[in-house]
Structure formats: structure tokens, C-alpha cells
Structure 1
Amino acid sequence: MQTQQWPVFQLVSCLLVLSQLVYFSYADVGTAAQYSPPYLPTACYGDDQSQFPSSNLFAAAGDGIWDNGASCGRQYLVRCISASQPGTCVEDQTIQVKIVDYAPTAQSPPSTQSTTIVLSETAFGGITNIAVNSINIEFQQ
């Protein structure tokens, strides 16, 4: 009986090892705009200056990801995938942003309304080469 269990054990072990090597990414596609200072107060943390990462890579959530404020503090990986003007996106550049605000109530208006996410000037500039109002993005939490 032990010899019959050995191939099953090998198969299960092999599948376990392979499952650790394969990573499934669950990304979504949306749009992004940018907004400028002043950034305070925010819907997530009020006037607390410490809410902003030192990298200045932060964002305001649009209605699609706001989740009644549950998105506050979430980190998203964001990359530009297309824009109306060719050459806008920085190829193969992905940034990580922290949600600190709700876009419709942000202190400063976004460059385009009703986008998935509104990036700080630093974040938007990190994934674009050309000044545009909005871009198409891929993002994941």
C-alpha cells in the first residue's frame, strides 16, 4: 500500500510547489486624473499632515473604489496604459499610491471629473510624460 501512496504524495507535493511559484494578479482598468494642492483637509484623515506618504504618492478615490470610506489607507499599484495623446504614458512604470481622500469632496478639484482615482501631482507625473487631463490606468490593490 505504501508504493501506491508515493505517486499521489509526489503529485500533491509538486502541485503545492507550483502553486507557490504562480502569482495571479487581479487588476482592473479605469481612468485617472490629477489634483493640485491644497490637499488638506481630506475625507479620510482631516487635517493630519502625517497621512501623506513621504514620497507624495497618494490619491483620492473616485466613486468606483470609495466603498463608503473603506478605501481610506488602501494602497493601490497604478500604471498608465493609454491616453488620448500618444507618448503620454511612461512605459513599464508602476507606482504605489495611498488613498487619503474622496475625489468628489477633495479640497482641490481634479483635472477631470468622475474618474476612478485622482492622483497627486507627484503620482500623476510619475506615470506620465506629457501634461494631459486624464489617462487610462490599470490598478490593483
Structure 2
Amino acid sequence: MPKAKVHVSLLRLILSRLVFSTLFIIHHSLADVGTAAKYGPPFLPTACFGRDASQFPSSNMFAAAGEAIWDNGAACGRQYQLRCISAVAPGTCTPAQTIQIKIVDRAQSTVSRPSLGGTTMVLSTTAFQAIANVSASFVNVEYQQV
């Protein structure tokens, strides 16, 4: 094979890998990292929707917004995709499990106490169980608004 064709082929390979790597980094840099705790019933979404239980998704995949994402109430109704990325105890996260939740309340105003205060979001027990071992009080999550 002539040298010019080898150089062109090598250059194409390098460029394709560079483009792939850049797209991979950009895709993953759109997500934020925070913490998620859990809370249980009674679920009374007073901060967002009064006491309108019809605002809860039928899947029970919902959360209360912590102050980091509350945004003066603009978080109400937002949807987030999230996944557990780490926890204090090894093996706590459910690997490769991504869920979608809906914000239905403010963490500071929830009737039920979260398992840890000051977190980015407080997940329903159903949502927390989907991404982590329910015995954990909190986990580190990667999340992105959808």
C-alpha cells in the first residue's frame, strides 16, 4: 500500500476516534451529580400541587426537590432521568439502572422526613429501590432534566 494511502487511513482512524471521544464526553457532561435520599408515605405534595394526589405518576417514580434544584418552585412537574453512581457501602447501587422521576414537592415541606436532609432530591421509596438497595440512607446520583 502506498505511503499516502496509509497516512490517509491513519488520519481517518484518528479523526473518527477523536469525534467519538468528543461526542461521548459531551453526552456525559450534560448530566449533573448530586445526592438522593428516600422518603415514605404519607405523600402529600403541598408545595407543588396543593394536596392533589392526581399529580403523582402512576409508576410511583417521583421525588421532592432539594434546594439545589427547587428553583423557586419552577422544579414542580419537571422530569429527571437519574442513576445511582456510588454509595458509602459497595454494591448499594443497581448497576446500569436509569429511571425517570417527576418532581411533585419540595423536600423542605414534605410531611414525611427524608432519610437524609440537604440532598439534591428525595425519592419515593419505589424510585429509590429501583436504583439502589433500600437499606441505604442516601446515594450519589447522576441526573439530567428531560
- TM, length-normalised to structure 1: 0.82
Residue number among 55, 58, 63 corresponding to 1:51 in the alignment: 55
Aligned position for 1:27: 31
- Deviation at 1:24? 3.2
Q: Is the 8 A contact 2:45 2:53 kept in 1?
A: no
Aligned position for 1:11: none
- Point out 4+ residue stretches in structure 1 off by more than 3 angstroms: 22-25
Judged with a 3 Å threshold, the aligned counterparts in structure 2 of structure 1 residues 66 and 126 are, in CA distance, closer, same or farther, namely: same
Q: Is the 8 A contact 1:87 1:130 kept in 2?
A: no
Provide the rounded CA distance (Å) in 2 between the counterparts of 1:129 and 1:103. 21
Structure number having the greater helix percentage: 2
Aligned position for 1:86: 90
Q: What does 1:1-141 correspond to in 2, within 5 Å?
A: 24-25=27-28, 26-141=30-145
Provide the rounded CA distance (Å) in 2 between the counterparts of 1:125 and 1:118. 12
**AA aligned opposite 2:59:** S
- Deviation at 1:47? 1.0
Provide the rounded CA distance (Å) in 2 between the counterparts of 1:57 and 1:32. 13
- Secondary structure of the corresponding residue to residue 81 of structure 2: strand
- Secondary structure of the corresponding residue to residue 33 of structure 1: strand
- Deviation at 1:105? 1.0
- Secondary structure of the corresponding residue to residue 65 of structure 1: helix
Q: Which runs of 5+ in 1 are unaligned?
A: 1-17
- Deviation at 1:129? 2.7
Provide the rounded CA distance (Å) in 2 between the counterparts of 1:74 and 1:83. 25
Q: Deviations over 1:31-67 (max 9, x none)?
A: 0000000011421001111100000000000000000
- Secondary structure of the corresponding residue to residue 24 of structure 1: helix
- TM, length-normalised to structure 2: 0.79
